[in-house]
């Protein structure tokens, strides 16, 4: 279960403090998912980074299956992200120097050793339709193919929390639909919690929970 209570985030800037999140509270159980929609600058991505352990909140708490990631030491927090969180970002962020298979396996280079990881990586890539591109580099793939590989990478550790930041933002409508299908399908199979940020009404409406963000405030 994921619970966030009274989350706020303020950034100091030379022009004065900038409050990006205001008193956000939410909760989701395992297997549940939600979309977050809102105008640009409303704090959607910031909420995702805070939930994923990438950015500490200015105030408030987070609890994922009884763990508050921000109460952990920096190394333990890294371990939390490695084990319990999977990110799918708008810009796929594949490492250009690695092949697709290597990219998917990158999260397994740290944390607990997992002898089955290569097989699982191949299975994931096959599931996302890239079985024949294992040894290709990102520069040789289309945008949709890269994003599918990024999805496989996010799931290699079977995380309990999947966070997606505009995963289809750079894709055309057909490719976006394919990627969205994949995400929803894999989420259903893994019984993880998934939160997806999107501008796309079509994508957002496919989720049972549709949250709105506006000026840092979340309305459930």
Partner 1 sequence: MLTRASLRYYAGTNALVVLGVAVAVAVLAGALLVGESVRDSLRQLALARLGRTDIVVTSPMFFRTALAQNGAAPLIVAGGAVAHDESKRTAGRVAVYGINEAFGKFQRIEGLTISGREALISEALAAELGAKAGDGITLRVAKPTDIPLSTLQGRKEVTGQRIRLTVARILDRAHLGEFSLSPSQGPVLAIYVPLDRLQRDLNLGERVNAILGQGVGTIIPPDRITLDDLSLRSRPGPNGETIVESRAGFITDALADQVAKIAKSDQRGAVPALTYVANSIKVGDRAVPYSTVAAIDYGPREQKESRPPVWLNAWAAEDLKAKVGDKVTLEYYIWTDEDGLETRSAEFTLAGVTAMDGIGGDQTLTPDYPGISDAPDITSWDPPFPVDLKRVRPKDEDYWDHYRAAPKAIISLADGQRLWGSRYGKVSSLRLSGSAPIDPKAIDPAAAGFSTRTVRADALAAAQGTTDFGEYFLYFSFFLVISALLLAYLFFAVGVEQRTTEIGVLASMGFSSSAIRGLFVREGAILAAIGAAIGIVAAVAYSTLILYGLRTWWIGAVNTTDLTLHISPMWLAGGAIDVFIVGLAALWLGIRAMSRRSARSLLKGDAALVTSRAKAITKAIAILLLIIGAALLGASALGAIDQTAGFFGAGGAWLVGGLCAASIFLRRRRSSTTLGRGLAGMFALGIRHTAVRPARSVLSLALIAFASFVLVSVGAFKKDVTAEQNDARSGTGGYALMAESVAPLMHDPNTADGREGLGLERGDPIVSSTKITRFRLRPGDETSCLTLYRPTNPRVIAPEPRFFDQPRFSFSSSMAATPEERANPWLLLKRTFDDGAIPAIADQTTLMYSLHLGVGDDFTITPEGHAPVRLRIAGSLADSFLQSELIIGEDAFVQIFPRHEGYRVWMIETAPGTDATVTTHFEDRLSDYGVDVIDTRARWASYHQVENTYLATFQALGSLGLLLGTIGLGAVLARNVLERKREIGLLRAVGFSPADIRGMVLSEGLALVGGGLLIGAGCAIVAIAPALRDRAQALPLTNLLGLVAAVLVTAVLASSLAIRLTSRAAITTAIKGE
Task: Report residue 45 CA to chain centroid gap.
Answer: 10
Q: Which two tokens stand for residue 174?
A: 């057909």
166 binds partner 1 (CB under 8 A): no
Q: Cα separation of 104 and 75, whole Å?
A: 22
* By the rule CB under 8 A, 87 interacts with partner 1: yes
> Is residue 144 involved in binding partner 1 (CB under 8 A)?
no
Please, which residue, 66 or 74, has the CB nearer to partner 1?
74
With contacts defined by CB under 8 A, name the span among 106-114, 128-136, 173-181, 211-219 that binds partner 1. 106-114
78 binds partner 1 (CB under 8 A): yes
Distance separating alpha carbons of residues 79 and 177, to the nearest angstrom: 32
Pick the piece of the chain touching partner 1 (CB under 8 A) from 25-33, 94-102, 169-177, 202-210.
94-102
For 166, phi then psi, to 5°, come to: 50, 55
Using rule CB under 8 A, residue 14 touches partner 1: yes
Tokens 């950034």 label which residue? 11
CB of 59 closer than 8 Å to CB of 8: yes
The C-alpha atoms of residue 34 and residue 195 are separated, in whole angstroms, by 5
Q: Which parts of this chain interact with partner 1 (CB under 8 A)?
A: 14, 46, 49, 52, 54-55, 74-75, 78-83, 85, 87, 89, 91, 93, 95-98, 102, 105-107, 109-111, 153
């Amino acid at each position: 279960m994921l619970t966030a209570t009274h989350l706020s985030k303020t950034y100091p800037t030379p022009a004065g403090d900038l409050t990006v999140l205001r008193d956000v509270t939410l909760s989701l159980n395992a297997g549940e998912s939600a979309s977050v929609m809102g105008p640009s600058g409303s704090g959607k991505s910031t909420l995702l980074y805070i939930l994923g352990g990438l950015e500490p909140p200015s105030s408030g708490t987070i609890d994922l299956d009884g763990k508050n990631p921000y109460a952990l030491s920096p190394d333990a927090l890294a371990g939390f992200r490695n084990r319990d969180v999977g990110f799918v970002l708008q810009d796929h962020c594949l490492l250009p120097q690695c092949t697709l298979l290597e990219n998917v396996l990158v999260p397994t280079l740290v944390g607990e050793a997992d002898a089955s990881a290569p097989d699982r990586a191949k299975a994931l890539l096959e599931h996302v339709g890239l079985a024949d591109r294992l040894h290709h580099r990102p520069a040789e793939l289309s945008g949709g193919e890269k994003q599918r590989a990024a999805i496989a990478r996010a799931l290699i550790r079977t995380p309990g929390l999947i966070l997606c930041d505009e995963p289809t933002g750079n894709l055309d409508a057909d490719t976006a639909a394919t990627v969205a299908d994949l995400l929803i399908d894999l989420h259903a199979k893994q019984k993880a919690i998934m939160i997806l940020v999107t501008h796309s009404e079509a994508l957002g409406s496919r989720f049972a929970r549709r949250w709105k963000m506006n000026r840092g405030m979340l309305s459930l």
